[in-house]
Every structure is written in structure tokens, then in C-alpha cells.
Amino acid sequence: MMANNSHHALKTVHFIAFVLVIIGALNWGLIGVADFNLVAVIFGDGAIARTIYVLVGLSAVLMLYTEFATMRAGSEHQRPARPQSAPG
């Protein structure tokens, strides 16, 4: 039961990180296209907006880490078998 709860918690954290990365990407798209910072408009230029920017950055790091860990684990399972040397 405990493993199931921790797995659910990790899925929740990963989902929140995913949403924050999407928000950050959309915000940067708006800045690039229209010079419009939606986070700053909603939350101002204070501590709340800075906290959101930090959370978006940390979420991106988490997403990178989990993606590379998944890719590495997948490549370890797909490695071809080493050829056996001929006896003798």
C-alpha cells in the first residue's frame, strides 16, 4: 500500500511539473511574439511572480532528469546481446 501511495505522489508531482513547464513555455511564447508577460500581468513583478519563475525552472530540471532517466533505463533494456566468442 505504501509503495502505491508514493507512486501516486510521484505521478502527481510529475504532472504539476509538466503543467508548470507548459505555463512557462506559453509565457515565453507570449513574451517573444507579443512582448506580453502573462505571469507578470496576473501576479505583478513581486515575490509571487519570482516564485512561479523558480518553480517553472525547477519543474524543467525535474522533467529533464526524469526524461533522461527513462531514456537511459530504456536503452539498457534494448542493448543487443554480446556475441559469444567461438570456443577454442
CB atoms within 10 A of CB 15: 10
- The residue whose grid cell reads 532528469 is 65
What is the predicted pLDDT for the residue at 87? 62
Model confidence over 43-86: pLDDT tens digits? 999 999 999 999 999 999 999 999 888 888 877 666 555 666 66
Rounded to two decimals, what is the model's pTM? Answer: 0.72
| Alpha carbons 80 and 4: distance in angstroms, whole number | 33
Contact 27, 38 (CB under 8 A): yes
What's the first-to-final CA gap in the chain, in angstroms?
A: 54
